[in-house]
Amino acid sequence: MLTYLGRRLFWLVVTLLVITAITFVIYFVLPPVSPAVLFAGKEATPAVIATVQAELGLNHPVWVQYLLFLKHLVLGDQFGWPGLGFSFVNHSPVRTLIAGRIVVTASLAIGAAIIWLALGVTIGVISAVRQRSIWDRLSLGFAIFFVSAPVFWLGLVLLYVFWFKLGIAAGTGNFPPGQYGFWTWLNHMILPWLTLALLYAGWYARMTRGAVLDTLTQDYVRTARAKGLRESRILLRHVLRACITPILTMFGLDLAALVSGTVIVEVVFNLNGLGQWVVQSVESDDIPSVLAVTVLAALAVMVANLIVDILYAYVDPRIRYD
Amino acid sequence: MMTHDEPGPARAARRGLALRLLTAASCVLVTALAACSGGGGSSGGSPAAGASGSGAHPARGGVYRTAVSSFGLTNNMDPVGETQIGFAFSVYDAMLRELVNFRHVNGAAGTEIVPDLATSVPAPTDNGLTYTFHLKPDIKFAPPVNRAITSKDILYAFQRINDAKLVAQYGYYYYGVIQGMTGKATSPDNAISGIQTPNPTTIVFHLTKPTGDFLQRVASPAAAPVPAEVAKCFNTPGSYGRDLVASGPYMFQGSAQADISSCTALKPISGFDPTSHITLVRNPAYVQSTDNTRANYLNGVQITVDPNVADIFARVQKGQLDGSMTDPPPATVTRTYLTDPSLAADFHSDLINQVESVTMNLAVAPFTDVHVRKAVAWVLDKSAMLRALGGASHYSIATHIIPPTLPGGLAVSYDPYKTPGASGSLAKAQAEMKLSAFDPRRDGKCDVAACKKLVFIDISQFSGVDTVVQNDLAKIGITIVPRDLSVTTAFTALFTIKELEPMSALGGGYADYTGTFSFAQPNFGSAALSAPVSCCNYSLVGLTQAQAASYKVPYPKTGIPSVDSIINQCEVLSDGPQRSACWSGLDKTMMTKVMAWVPYVWGRNIVVTAPDVTRYVMDVATSSISLTQLAVSNHVSIPS
């Protein structure tokens, strides 16, 4: 296992280097507008541009800038660790700008994940166990509808009906529990969680249904029934255990992708998360911020993959790593 | 951050939580059906009683809660580099005091200069070269500094403007005007020979040349006093903004808790996050009796970032916000407010110091010929362009370049290219084109290759006019290729002289301050072409042969007209009727002789307020809502 871990960590670092290098080239080498010119503003004389380039560290060759970026990432910069640089647009350290946003995105992603897992797996199991019944049909309808419904539409509809018209839901905005209390925060997160969760719940319901149906026909399940075990025990201890591997795979990837994939929900519900941040940064040519979020997103996906792979060994005894 | 006006929010939230969970889970399908069955928007039914208006003596108190899709700051609220007229300058009016200031109201009164920190508005002496200000006593900085403001604090502000590293965006209004100010200082501690502080309550400015609107320049937020003991900790552009020390009636929430014992101890003030919120609370060190212009009814202001513009207006209608601020409402919201008499008083649309124009590059054929430019002016259907941008509630048709809200702005009735319904005249355009060298066939159309496929730069905010311009210009033989670019790419292309962009829809924008020089010089002065990348003379009016050679751009044989002599003549005149008449003359010259721009709309600031706004005032100086004149009747308080 340790050898396997070491190998995976090595390739994690290599992949991260490749991703950061490509992103660096895209944003520092290719753009038609120099960040220094943008920063210099209305009277970008050569003297002002030169001053700004020196201030922002843009007066070094590109490869030196990239190496400095890596060095700061690993060792930190004058603003702390990790060193994510200085926002050209907001004139603040990127680290402080995204710290709060990571928490918002994480809370949105984790909350939605719990809901979609609970909802999706439950519906999938019921649908498989009650195959071809009215529950199965409803489950299919549920999955098709929410997989097809655009996320922004769903969010706006939920807001319109439950907040604007019925007044029973809280509106938009980010209300940190430390400042506004746990219940106020929870209130404001329900609709965003549902919006995000319902899309994934549909997928997971269908995936779980297929996996459970497949497992139910296995010999060991028949044996368990023959031995007189209760159906619920068979389902929970034997069937679900076998089905969990594909669900785990998808779950890890989906959760990691949400690092920057929640942008639509964050915009609709005004949640000031990472997804919304990266879109604003791209629009305003805030290169250090885009680079920072790219690094974080890539790291999240790779770490999630690694965790999922390690969990396989515990979930499925047949899997061993050398 | 947001507040609610429901009592006991935690208790109410807990009681409703279970109900909401159940309702949401079980009603999902009903939701879909309800949404699919249509149903238009609802206004929220605000009652007419308590609608916003200009109450004579509204009650003090309450908090104005608003949201913007983006702060759009250019320098993180550090006044040295902040050019965000509208939002930032509206906040500055609440936070900063300058030697003199505007009244921060609408109309002509809003352009009047009045004393603020100074005891009076000084008349220049020494043939217009010296201005002496005396400071009022008992005016202090807000916490955490909490000490008397002195003349040295104002001097320090100018020294920061002079520091090259801090990249002052409006520095050119002071460099070469105040003796010793060049913009090349290496530190904010470098002295300026032309500014003297003989005692803590006196400051004297010595100019290199008479400058008729020097007082307007001193009213800029960048000239507000800065405490060196705090600002010295910040030597990079924009970094001071998060610890901006107030001198006005409001300050950032959390200012009192800021630790200024050392630079390392100083952390960003909690009331300002450039990506999410600005929260203002009353400055306890502010003395109302020293201020004749600001009413300061509010206890606080909460501004949050909400990128979902429709959500901002939905929250206003639901009472969770007291009004919008800078974002124009979506068409459906505009329609709701304009068609419901009970909501009419809550919809505010005011002319501001903004013009948008079609620009033509005088160094690029066919616009080297004034007859072609005049033909463009005749043919454009401005009424269609107005409709494309949202109609009369959002903009007004521009009949000349300088907005009527600026000093010297001509009357709306002055329109040298007047056509019935402002819909353009093909006949007059063709008649003008026939006089041009680019119409050898004399058929009223531009016949040469130089008239084909001209790039037309635009941004999404104004891209609605592209089709109108394209269709209209095609009638006189000019074909354009509209390029809808991001804001930064579009303006950088236009700023870069070498790019020689032939046309754009972006001429004008806002005046840098409420003084016509700040509009005329950057847009039409050759001094605005002193750097290879500079704002905002997109038509290259006044480009000299020497400048053209240095930037390696062609200089047309027919020459390029200049209005530098008029601008220079107007600049030295003191504020008053003579100066205004001079600027009016510049507008007429630009419209009739130069015709580098075809103005199509003047801007309007649109704000939708909730019924609890009891006094609404638009500030013509900032082109935004006047936070220091606003009043609300809510009983909201700002959470600590």
- Name residue, tokens 């580098």: B596
Task: Assess whether pLDDT exceeds 70 at residue B539.
Answer: yes
- List B residues 237-266 in contact with A (Cβ-Cβ < 8 A): 237-239, 241-242
Which residues in chain A touch residue B241, judged by CB atoms under 8 angstroms apart?
Answer: 91
Which residues in chain B touch residue A177, judged by CB atoms under 8 angstroms apart?
Answer: none
What DSSP string describes B519-538?
A: HHHHHH-GGGGSSSEESS-T
Q: Do B488 and A43 touch (CB under 8 A)?
A: no
pLDDT (tens digit, 9 = 90+) per residue, B187-236? Answer: 999 999 999 999 999 999 999 999 999 999 999 999 999 999 999 999 88
pLDDT category of residue A32 using cuts at 50, 70 and 90: low
Partners of B102 in the β-ladder: B113
Which residues in chain B touch residue A120, judged by CB atoms under 8 angstroms apart?
Answer: none
Q: Pairing relation of β-strands B454-459 and B480-485?
A: parallel
Candidate from B16, B42, B167 with C-beta closest to A48: B167
pLDDT score recorded for residue A317: 67
Which residues in chain A touch residue B185, judged by CB atoms under 8 angstroms apart?
Answer: none
Q: What are the backbone angles phi and psi of residue A32, rounded to the nearest 5°? A: -75, -20
Question: How many Å apart are CA B241 and CA B169, to the nearest integer?
Answer: 14
One-letter amino acid at A242 equals A
Q: Do B10 and A158 touch (CB under 8 A)?
A: no
Question: How many Å apart are CA B559 and CA B541, to the nearest integer?
Answer: 10
Neighbours of A203 (CB within 10 A): 17
Q: Do B275 and A181 touch (CB under 8 A)?
A: no
Which residues in chain B touch residue A190, judged by CB atoms under 8 angstroms apart?
Answer: 17, 20-21, 24
Question: How many Å apart are CA B215 and CA B113, to the nearest integer?
Answer: 7
Q: Report yes or no: B409 at the A interface, CB cutoff 8 Å.
A: no
Candidate from B167, B488, B530 with C-beta closest to A40: B167
Task: Assess whether pLDDT exceeds 80 at residue B24.
Answer: no
Residue B203 contacts residue B157 (beta carbons within 8 Å):
no
Question: How many Å apart are CA A92 and CA A111, to the nearest integer?
Answer: 30
B36 membership: H or E segment, kind and range:
helix B28-36
* Greatest mean pLDDT among A151-160, A214-223, B362-371: B362-371
Q: Report yes or no: B163 at the A interface, CB cutoff 8 Å.
A: no
Question: How many Å apart are CA A84 and CA A73, to the nearest integer?
Answer: 6
Residue B290 contacts residue B307 (beta carbons within 8 Å):
no
- CA of B15: which chain A residue's CA is closest? A183
Question: How many Å apart are CA A79 and CA B117, to the nearest integer?
Answer: 37
Candidate from A158, A170, A186 with C-beta closest to B31: A158
How many angstroms separate the CA of residue A201 from the nearest CA in chain B?
13
What's the DSSP call for residue A143? H
Q: Do A92 and B238 touch (CB under 8 A)?
A: yes
How many angstroms separate the CA of residue B308 from the nearest CA in chain A?
6
Task: Assess whether pLDDT exceeds 80 at residue B514.
Answer: yes
Interface test with chain A among B175, B488, B519, by most A beta carbons within 10 Å: B488
Residue B321 contacts residue B67 (beta carbons within 8 Å):
yes
Q: Do A45 and B534 touch (CB under 8 A)?
A: yes
Q: Do B308 and A41 touch (CB under 8 A)?
A: no
pLDDT (tens digit, 9 = 90+) per residue, B285-298? Answer: 999 999 989 999 99
Kindly provide the b/e burial profile for residues B349-372, where b requires at least 16 CB atoms within 10 angstroms of the residue's own CB: bbbbbbbbbbbbbbbbbbbbbbbb
Q: pTM (2 decimals)?
A: 0.85
Residue B158 contacts residue B171 (beta carbons within 8 Å):
no
pLDDT score recorded for residue B49: 30
Those residues whose C-beta lies under 8 Å from the C-beta of residue B253, and which sit 6 or more positions away, are B269, B270, B271, B279, B280, B281, B300, B638
DSSP-derived 3-state class of residue B315: helix
Identify the residue with better confidence: A57 or B59.
B59
pLDDT average, residue stretch B410-416? 91
Q: Exposed, middle or buried: residue B628 (CB in 10 Å: 0-12, 13-18, 19+)?
A: buried
How many Å from the N-terminal Cα to the C-terminal Cα in chain A?
6
**% of chain B residues with pLDDT over 90:** 76
One-letter amino acid at B338 equals L
- What count of Cα atoms within 13 Å lies in the side-chain half-sphere of residue B285? 23
Q: What are the backbone angles phi and psi of residue B357, rounded to the nearest 5°? A: -135, 155
How many angstroms separate the CA of residue B551 from the nearest CA in chain A?
12
Q: Do A272 and B639 touch (CB under 8 A)?
A: no
pLDDT (tens digit, 9 = 90+) per residue, B318-338? Answer: 999 999 999 999 989 999 999
Partners of B507 in the β-ladder: B357
Which residues in chain A touch residue B536, judged by CB atoms under 8 angstroms apart?
Answer: 42
pLDDT average, residue stretch B246-256? 97
pLDDT category of residue B366 using cuts at 50, 70 and 90: very high
Question: How many Å apart are CA B239 and CA A99, to the nearest integer?
Answer: 18
pLDDT (tens digit, 9 = 90+) per residue, A107-127? Answer: 999 999 999 999 999 999 888
List the beta strands (DSSP E) in chain A: 43-44
Task: Assess whether pLDDT exceeds 70 at residue B416.
Answer: yes
Task: Assess whether pLDDT exceeds 80 at residue B171.
Answer: yes
Apex CA B612: angle with CA B633 and CA B630, to 5°? 70
How many angstroms separate the CA of residue B414 from the nearest CA in chain A?
31
- CA of A54: which chain B residue's CA is closest? B165
Q: Do B237 and A285 touch (CB under 8 A)?
A: no
Q: Do A270 and B13 touch (CB under 8 A)?
A: no
Q: Do A55 and B237 touch (CB under 8 A)?
A: yes
User: In whole angstroms, how far apart are CA B111 and each of B94, B256, B405, B467, B573?
Assistant: 17, 33, 8, 37, 17
Question: How many Å apart are CA A101 and CA A109, to the nearest integer?
Answer: 12
Question: How many Å apart are CA B373 and CA B451, to the nearest integer?
Answer: 12
- List B residues 117-146 in contact with A (Cβ-Cβ < 8 A): none
- Name residue, tokens 């990128």: B307
pLDDT (tens digit, 9 = 90+) per residue, A9-30? Answer: 888 888 888 988 888 888 777 6
User: In whole angstroms, how far apart are CA B143 and each of B228, B245, B283?
Assistant: 14, 7, 8
Those residues whose C-beta lies under 8 Å from the C-beta of residue B543, and which sit 6 or more positions away, are B362, B363, B497, B526, B529, B553, B555, B560
How many angstroms separate the CA of residue B413 from the nearest CA in chain A?
33
Question: How many Å apart are CA B491 and CA B509, to the nearest integer?
Answer: 11
What's the DSSP call for residue B449? G
Q: Report yes or no: B34 at the A interface, CB cutoff 8 Å.
A: yes
Question: How many Å apart are CA B599 and CA B447, to the nearest integer?
Answer: 25
Looking at this predicted complex, what is its ipTM? 0.80
pLDDT (tens digit, 9 = 90+) per residue, B545-595? Answer: 999 999 999 999 999 999 999 999 999 998 889 999 999 999 999 999 999
Interface test with chain A among B267, B497, B533, by most A beta carbons within 10 Å: B533
Q: Do B237 and A162 touch (CB under 8 A)?
A: no
What DSSP string describes A67-98?
A: HHHHHHHHH-BTTBSS---B-TTT-SBHHHHH
Question: How many Å apart are CA A11 and CA B448, to the nearest integer?
Answer: 61
DSSP-derived 3-state class of residue B195: strand
Neighbours of B450 (CB within 10 A): 18
Neighbours of A114 (CB within 10 A): 12
Interface test with chain B among A91, A159, A175, by most B beta carbons within 10 Å: A91
Q: Do A157 and B169 touch (CB under 8 A)?
A: no
Which residues in chain B touch residue A267, judged by CB atoms under 8 angstroms apart?
Answer: 307-308
Angular region, B138: left φ>0, alpha ψ -120 to 50, beta rest? left
